[in-house]
Amino acid sequence: MSALKIPQQILDDMIAHARELDPFECCGLLAGTNGAVSRHYRITNTVAKDARAVEVFEGADVKQLSHLSNSTKAEVAYFMDPKEMLAAFKDMRQRNLELAVIYHSHTHSPAYPSATDVGLAYYPDAAYLIISLEHKTAPDLRAYWIKDRQVSRAEFQSV
Amino acid sequence: MIKVRIPTPLRPLTKNQGEVEATAGSIAEMIENLNAAHPGLKDRLCDDKGELRRFVNIYVNEEDIRFLKGKDTSLKDGDEVSIVPAIAGGN
């Protein structure tokens, strides 16, 4: 697996995305070639709007969401809008890019995968990047590989 | 012939092909036929009872089969099917 290279502009834009939605979680995808990221897709977090999100979380036995208010759901979880994901994957195919990074923000906790993140990690070939806004003035970005529920650090450099 | 888009997590089962072809009249039949050609695929898509796993999204020509007839959604020659596992998590 080659080391990830992410343009500084895309890193800045992901942080901006996280800040815009704070205290709600943002999410999105990065695509590129051989780990060199060139494209950023912001995806809408529909955890509070899509009844299927609750089914997915509770089906995987990772988090009980149904008792939470809609706004609380979006503070503690994300669920990518399936239609937007489909459109992003289509765009990647047309540009001959691969999915490289799946990102989301943690607005109240550190940039480390939660049990929920690990239990719902269905893409072992993509790095999972977390933007922590636990310390609002110092966003912390870290990336991980999550394979068979094992978490390891994914190094990335800004370019 | 139906064109089926395989997501990266399932490509180890399709010799790394991102697109495979299948002949099928419905999603259920497509899953059976794909599993015959690529053993193990059905287990990744369906649970022990043969129901689609909840995190698996399937689209026929970009329409979510949950808003069609689920596994009974019919397929015709030239249809394009996309399989897209959900992406979700939280703090």
Q: At A74, give phi and psi (nearest 5°).
A: -75, -10
A69 in a structural domain:
no
- CATH code of the domain covering residue A18: 3.40.140.10
A4 in a structural domain:
no
Three-class secondary structure of residue B35 per DSSP: helix
Predicted confidence band of residue A32 (pLDDT cuts 50, 70, 90): very high
B36 in a structural domain:
yes
pLDDT at A1: 55
Domain that holds residue A34: 13-46+80-154
A55 in a structural domain:
no
A72 in a structural domain:
no
Find the mean pLDDT for residues A106-132.
Answer: 95
- Smallest CA–CA distance, residue A27 to chain B, in Å, is 9
Whether B89 sits inside 8 A of A128 (CB atoms) is yes
Tokens 């970005």, residue?
Answer: A141
Tokens 């996309």, residue?
Answer: B82
What pLDDT, in 10s, does the model give residues B59-77? 999 999 999 999 999 999 9
Tell whether A98 lies on the interface with B, counting CB pairs under 8 A: yes
Quote the number of domains for chain A. 1
Domain that holds residue B53: 2-85
Quote the number of domains for chain B. 1
pLDDT at A61: 80
A144 in a structural domain:
yes
Three-class secondary structure of residue A7 per DSSP: coil
- CATH code of the domain covering residue B65: 3.10.20.30
B90 in a structural domain:
no
